[in-house]
Structure 1
Amino acid sequence: MSQSLQPVDTPAFYINPDSNVSVINYSKGYIQDVFQLINSESLLNLVKLYLEEQTNKHNDVFQVTPKQYVDVMKAILTDNKKAYEIFDKEKLLQSVEDLYSYYRTYFRVSLINKHNNAVIKGSFMDVDNHFNDVVIDLYRAIEEKLQGFTNHTYRQINAGTNASAIVQSIDWPTPKGYEKLADIRFIDTLMLRPPMMMHTKSNKREGLFDAVPDNPISKFDGKRNEWYCFPAKIGESLTYIYFQRDYFVSGIALGNLFEVATEEEVKGKKPDEILLFGLPETEGDVCHYYHDEENDIWVGEVPYNDKTTYFGYMKKMCLTLHNLHMIYENRLPIHGSMVKITFSNGKVKTVVFFGDSGAGKSESIEALQEIADDKIVDIETIFDDMGSFAFDDEGKIYAQGTETGAFVRLDDLSSAVAFNNMDRGIYLNPELKNARVILPANTYQRVVQHHRIDMWVYANNYDSEIGLHQFPDEEAAKKTFIAGKRKALGTTDEVGMSTTFFANPFGPVQEEQKTRPIIDKVFNKLYEDNIYVGEIYTHLGNDKSKDSLKESAQELLDQLMNN
């Protein structure tokens, strides 16, 4: 990431103008009232950055030092008339408004060390809420004194932080070579303040993840105060996601996507996967993975650069590691979404929509909801982007999900769904093309249950037909599913027609030879059990109106209700 203004890095306060991230460590210094805040080193450092930013924009607010600026604010707060002897009151008011807005442009996360605070678990939200109030109180006190009257409308915004986290050190059996990870603290509990609007320098994912011959762990040299670990339960896998603090936007957003593993689930447990996100450099400066066969750990590496600030890199690297683990467990990773539909006629059906990014999986579910009227009582999302098919001890096939949330394009959501879930969402670059929202979708317990499969359909966004087509035999079905054709819609760096082995560049592409026998076994069982396997024509590669998709959804609805 290119540097302009230098970060501020103190034990209690970190702020990086380049990554637009700020970390406030309450365990190193907690501000309890307005007077502590205005006298704090943290505020002085913030003012220093703000004034430098104005200079960079050739917009000199005042030719003053940070200390002089803070002294003026103190004078205003204590009704000292000297505050107005040097500066114009209106100009001063505007600069205070700008400073307040400048701070809120950062993604701000507060941290509390669990071991330093024995009773903090139940009250950390109160601690963070109080800091939020202190920031608002200071701003309003100065604002109202400068304008000469009290406000008539108050907006209770997230003035202090966007999120708060309890972090702690947990002992786990670090294998030889992994010892440097032992000092990195785990996220224990998260508090988010949705709706959260986050902005990153990148808004699209590029390329595939591939294997490297050497374990990326040898490159890790992260410091305790610069790296954190999100222990994620991805399906039935345990994944330790280590990220550099400038990636807190993605690290916190994980809270709407994966279940946080508890201290009991981490303590003494070797993970199935480890992700190192934000290494100084990687081979070719791109993303890779390594299978540590000796310790049976899949290790991923992602470089620190502007491109990887896009959340899709963190999400998809996690899922790639998980899927590779699944393939080695003889399970079949499914790139798609699964819903359980309860109909008004009493029938309950599970449907898995399959296809690569932009094929129309989410859109098919939306269209089904829109045309169903009162015929559908409920649609439960089992998984939104990735799951797996596996066999139980009796040889029966079942489906299982990975994420507890959904990472979807805003354009794909109907206005009803978007607005009904607004207060729970984490929004990424909402003003740009490929804007995304991360929404909680289901509980971890439901996601990892063994779900029967009633229908599996390929989302075909490239053919001109309308409706639903059932494949007559498993060979015909496998041909389409394995080819993984789609017309790219700009959600990645691809354009036009593309093919991806089994429509899944996150595991099966990397391990095609190991995946093919599992595909054969799954299709054989589905046809043996007479489970509907087909394709739905979504038309999204050609018809943006979605009228054709609604016609296809109607056929899908009829098939599910009447068979």
Structure 2
Amino acid sequence: MATSVRFHENQVIIRTTSLEWGSVDKVLDSGLFRTILSNFLKKLRDNRSEFLSILPKHPKEQEDLTLLCIKKLAKADRDTVLRSNPELKSLLADTYLLDRLVEAFYNYWRGHERYLICLSDPKVGGNGDIDHRPYRTFNDTIEKLNHIVRKIYRDLQENITGEHPIIYRQVPAGCTVGAIAKEISLPLPEQYSKLNKVPVIRQVLLNPPIIVNPTMNKRSGTFRLVNSNPLDGEGLDPAQWLCFPAKVGKLTVYLYFHEFYTGLAISTSNLFELCNDEDLRKAPDAIYVYGAPLKIFEKFAPDRTVFFDDEKNNLMVGAIPLGREYGFFGYIKKMMLTLHNSIMIKRGLMPIHGAMVRITLKGGEKANVILVGDSGAGKSESIEAFRTLSGENLRELKIVFDDMGSLELGEDRKINAYGTETGAFVRIDDLESGYVYGQLDRLITMIPKEKVNARVIVPITTLKEVQHGWPVDYFLYANNYETPKGGNYIERFKSAGDAMPVFKEGKRLAKGTTHEVGLTMTYYSNPFGPVQLMEEHEALAGKYFNAMFDSGIYVGQLRTQLGLAGMETRGPQEAAKALFALISKGKKR
């Protein structure tokens, strides 16, 4: 079977060109099963487990006899196995302890993040076009593997105890995530042609609940725009890399990731839409290599999170090295958005770090609202407050973007807004619990070892909403650090001259979601493109703010109070009520 298995941290990554997972024997005879068993037994020895009392003392003998015992008990009951295999007497003597040993082994396996990558290979019969029949491919691999692992577990229990299980839990016992990938000749410039050896993901199967354990719980530093190409002449080992081609707004970004980051990178499927075949026939707008060799960053020292504007090939290129310190989803999301924003600035659009919602109140009033602010300013929390208060005021709420968008100024001087992501990457603590429970079957949950800044990635909108281009009624700065005086949650600016200093200063109370703490300031609340291309952005900002006031857009600030102790929930809710009241008095769209 053309299959490789590798372990990284808590991840098991299985890459295979075989669609034949159809028997218990194939699973029990596989190198993967023996490796998992060996690792499990080592853990028992390290912990001086009580299970060692029924196992041989020598590690090799432990492994051989335990494997033999499992293979025999998978097909026959305990008494039958004991009669024909007296060497297993010690293992089979204590039925209760053996049953618990099997349960512990099963839970040990399921405690891993398990990823199955189905690779297309024309040399393998019937395997050259697996991406054209994804349902059958997933059914023949991940679904079949799930069934067989559950069968082995249940048969072992029955043959040890002599009893049928009373409760059957149909958990994804094999793998929780599957992907179909194939080598594709992408329309890359000649300079990047070596990347065409890397398999490209075409379909993803998510089998919830999906829990990813990142090696870090926050992102630190900024992304530096460098003067030379970090990928110049570099190739990637196709046996250890995959490509996730993503739609970031209207742009196409190829995310190349090392298998060390498999869990984080495949989670991108809940945040960005996967490119279709038509998208892949066009040249990409950006390339991002996540897990690049450290040597390519030597010339950029001390910076290791860099991107480059390849003007010759009309391509933005990002790179971040391989290492535990970069094992946080924010390094994927924010680099891809930095590449997007830099391209937008070059094309004359103004990137917005914020959230946009289309609101319809029960009275029929409609408004398209943008909230601007850096991490922890209260964007997602305000949207959550809108949702929480929906029973009182709201008929409909549609999200255009949750974290990053851009404004386009048309020839008619009208401004339209576009999004980037179809999902949201949000802190669990900032979501109303009922919403989380209602979305459990769609969430990808990220729980770092420190249990701080746990997050979920959840689909929230459609690519059509993101790419449509919506007019703007309210453009508000999310002020999370001031207490409203006299209930003045919303303040309208009188002119671009009044508004721009507030937006430009980008002041907020950091919540510990990045390396920042306390009261901080970020240029236009957006360190993802505007900071690196400040001169170009400065010219755009003046043009866009003047156009907003010329066209009658309500430009102001919304005091969310999210950064103030004790106001994390009430603050955004009071601000949302004030906004609802303002919209109800305003114009109807």
Q: Give the TM-score of the pair, scaled to structure 1.
A: 0.94
Q: C-alpha displacement at 1:147, in angstroms?
A: 2.6
Between stretches 173-182 and 225-234, larger displacement belongs to 173-182
Amino acid in the other structure paired with 1:270: A
Q: Distance in 2 between matches of 1:262 and 1:398?
A: 26
Q: C-alpha displacement at 1:69, in angstroms?
A: 2.0
Q: Distance in 1 between matches of 2:434 and 2:455?
A: 16
Q: Which residue is equivalent to 1:435?
A: 454
Deviation string for 1:221-244 (max 9, x for gaps)?
421111000000101111000000
Q: Which residue is equivalent to 1:22?
A: 12
Q: C-alpha displacement at 1:15, in angstroms?
A: 2.9
Q: Which runs of 5+ in 2 are unaligned?
A: none
Q: Which residue is equivalent to 1:12?
A: 3
Tell me the secondary structure at the aligned position of residue 201 of structure 1: coil
Could you tell me which of 119, 128, 136 is aligned with 1:123?
136
Amino acid in the other structure paired with 2:9: S
Whether 2:283 is the aligned partner of 1:270: answer yes
Q: C-alpha displacement at 1:140, in angstroms?
A: 1.2
Q: C-alpha displacement at 1:421, in angstroms?
A: 1.3
Q: Which residue is equivalent to 1:50?
A: 40
Shift in CA distance, 562/101, structure 1 to aligned 2, threshold 3 Å: same
Q: Distance in 2 between matches of 1:44 and 1:372?
A: 53
Whether 2:568 is the aligned partner of 1:550: answer no
Q: Distance in 2 between matches of 1:398 and 1:537?
A: 25
Q: Which residue is equivalent to 2:75?
A: 78
Q: C-alpha displacement at 1:250, in angstroms?
A: 1.2
Deviation string for 1:272-294 (max 9, x for gaps)?
11000011213436311111111
Q: Distance in 2 between matches of 1:28 and 1:224?
A: 17
Q: Distance in 2 between matches of 1:321 and 1:498?
A: 24
Q: Which residue is equivalent to 1:95?
A: 101
Q: Which residue is equivalent to 1:316?
A: 334
Tell me the secondary structure at the aligned position of residue 320 of structure 2: strand
Q: Distance in 2 between matches of 1:333 and 1:132?
A: 44
Q: C-alpha displacement at 1:174, in angstroms?
A: 2.8
Whether 2:263 is the aligned partner of 1:249: answer yes
Deviation string for 1:121-151 (max 9, x for gaps)?
2312322211110111011111222233111
Amino acid in the other structure paired with 1:531: I
Amino acid in the other structure paired with 2:3: A
Amino acid in the other structure paired with 2:106: Y
Tell me the secondary structure at the aligned position of residue 525 of structure 1: helix
Could you tell me which of 518, 527, 549 is aligned with 2:549?
527
Q: Distance in 1 between matches of 2:107 and 2:377?
A: 40
Q: Which residue is equivalent to 1:6?
A: none
Shift in CA distance, 15/58, structure 1 to aligned 2, threshold 3 Å: farther
Q: Distance in 1 between matches of 2:390 and 2:196?
A: 52
Q: Which residue is equivalent to 2:146?
A: 132
Shift in CA distance, 102/340, structure 1 to aligned 2, threshold 3 Å: same
Whether 2:568 is the aligned partner of 1:562: answer no
CA contact (8 A) 1:285 1:303 kept: no
Q: C-alpha displacement at 1:48, in angstroms?
A: 2.1
Amino acid in the other structure paired with 2:73: I
Amino acid in the other structure paired with 1:519: A
Q: Distance in 1 between matches of 2:114 and 2:504?
A: 44
Deviation string for 1:240-277 (max 9, x for gaps)?
0000011111111000000111123213x321110000
Between stretches 189-198 and 39-48, larger displacement belongs to 39-48
Amino acid in the other structure paired with 1:559: L
Q: Distance in 1 between matches of 2:416 and 2:202?
A: 32
Amino acid in the other structure paired with 1:144: E
Between stretches 368-377 and 284-293, larger displacement belongs to 368-377
Amino acid in the other structure paired with 2:247: K
Between stretches 304-313 and 545-554, larger displacement belongs to 545-554
Whether 2:253 is the aligned partner of 1:239: answer yes
Amino acid in the other structure paired with 2:104: D
Q: Which residue is equivalent to 2:406?
A: 388
Q: Distance in 1 between matches of 2:255 and 2:288?
A: 5
Percent identical pairs in the alignment equals: 34
Q: Give the TM-score of the pair, scaled to structure 2.
A: 0.90
Amino acid in the other structure paired with 1:227: W
Amino acid in the other structure paired with 2:459: P
Q: C-alpha displacement at 1:523, in angstroms?
A: 0.5
Shift in CA distance, 173/78, structure 1 to aligned 2, threshold 3 Å: closer
Tell me the secondary structure at the aligned position of residue 502 of structure 1: helix
Between stretches 131-140 and 91-100, larger displacement belongs to 91-100
Q: C-alpha displacement at 1:372, in angstroms?
A: 4.7
